[in-house]
Amino acid sequence: MKDRHVILLAMGREFGAWKKPFLISSAIVLAVVAIGMTALALTGSNGPVTFELGLVDEPPADISQDVESLLHPDARLSITRYPSLSEAESALANREVDALVVGDDEVVWGASTTDRLADAVWLAVSNQQVRSTAASLGLTPDEADRLIFPDIESRRVESPEEGSVADVVMATLAVILMFMSILAYGQWIGYAVVEEKANRVVELLLGAIKPHQLMAAKVLSIGLLGLTQIAAMGGLALAIGLATDRVEIPPASGSVVVWILIWFLLGYAFYGSLYAAAGSLASTSQEAGSVIGPMSILATVGYVFGLITMAGGIDTLLLRVASFIPLWAPMLMPARIARGWAESWEIAISLGVMVAAGLAMIYLAGRIYMGGMARATSRLGWREAFRTGSDLKR
Query: Do residues 338 and 170 make contact, with C-beta atoms less than 8 angstroms apart?
Result: yes
The answer to the question of residue 208 lying near another protein (CB under 8 A) is yes
Least separation in angstroms between residue 218's CB and another protein is 14
Q: Which of 16, 234, 352, 381 binds another protein (CB under 8 A)?
A: 16
Distance of CA 239 to the CA centre of its chain: 18
Residue type, 337: I
The answer to the question of residue 189 lying near another protein (CB under 8 A) is no
The answer to the question of residue 284 lying near another protein (CB under 8 A) is no
Q: With respect to another protein, which residue has the nearer C-beta, 21 or 141?
A: 21
The answer to the question of residue 378 lying near another protein (CB under 8 A) is no
Least separation in angstroms between residue 296's CB and another protein is 25
Binding residues with another protein: total (CB under 8 A): 25
Q: With respect to another protein, which residue has the nearer C-beta, 202 or 269?
A: 202
Q: With respect to another protein, which residue has the nearer C-beta, 78 or 285?
A: 285
Least separation in angstroms between residue 6's CB and another protein is 7
Q: Is the dihedral of CA 88, 92, 96, 102 positive or negative?
A: positive
Which of these segments, 136-144, 218-226, 351-359, 370-378, binds another protein (CB under 8 A)?
370-378
Which of these segments, 6-14, 36-44, 123-131, 243-251, binds another protein (CB under 8 A)?
6-14
End-to-end CA distance of the chain: 22
The answer to the question of residue 200 lying near another protein (CB under 8 A) is yes
d(CA 218, CA 324): 28
Q: With respect to another protein, which residue has the nearer C-beta, 14 or 98?
A: 14
- CB neighbours of 74 closer than 8 A, spacing ≥ 6? 48, 49
Query: Do residues 291 and 281 make contact, with C-beta atoms less than 8 angstroms apart?
Result: yes
The answer to the question of residue 352 lying near another protein (CB under 8 A) is no
Q: Which of 118, 205, 230, 247 binds another protein (CB under 8 A)?
A: 205
Residue 233, SS3?
helix
The answer to the question of residue 135 lying near another protein (CB under 8 A) is no
Query: Do residues 332 and 306 make contact, with C-beta atoms less than 8 angstroms apart?
Result: yes
Least separation in angstroms between residue 188's CB and another protein is 15
Identify the burial level of 28 via C-beta atoms within 10 angstroms of its C-beta, where 0-12 means exposed, 13-18 middle and 19 or more buried.
exposed
Q: With respect to another protein, which residue has the nearer C-beta, 119 or 203?
A: 203
Query: Do residues 251 and 166 make contact, with C-beta atoms less than 8 angstroms apart?
Result: yes
Residue type, 228: T
The answer to the question of residue 41 lying near another protein (CB under 8 A) is no
Q: With respect to another protein, which residue has the nearer C-beta, 199 or 300?
A: 199
Residue type, 88: A
Least separation in angstroms between residue 199's CB and another protein is 5
The answer to the question of residue 202 lying near another protein (CB under 8 A) is yes
d(CA 381, CA 29): 36
Q: Which residues pair with 56 in a beta bridge?
A: 82, 102
The answer to the question of residue 281 lying near another protein (CB under 8 A) is no
Cβ neighbours, 10 Å, residue 193:
29
Site string for another protein, 144-173 (x = CB under 8 A): ------------------------------
d(CA 122, CA 126): 6
Q: With respect to another protein, which residue has the nearer C-beta, 156 or 394?
A: 394
d(CA 273, CA 286): 21
Q: With respect to another protein, which residue has the nearer C-beta, 150 or 207?
A: 207
Q: With respect to another protein, which residue has the nearer C-beta, 6 or 79?
A: 6
Burial 45-80 (b: 16+ CB within 10 A, else e): eeeeeebbbbbbbebbeebbebbbebbeeebebebe
Q: Among residues 300, 95, 284, 289, which one has the least CA distance to residue 200? A: 284
Q: Which of 7, 10, 194, 322 binds another protein (CB under 8 A)?
A: 10
Q: Which of 9, 75, 224, 239 binds another protein (CB under 8 A)?
A: 9
Q: With respect to another protein, which residue has the nearer C-beta, 347 or 392?
A: 392
- Note the residues at the interface with another protein (CB under 8 A): 1, 6, 9-10, 13, 16-17, 199-210, 374, 376-377, 391-392, 394
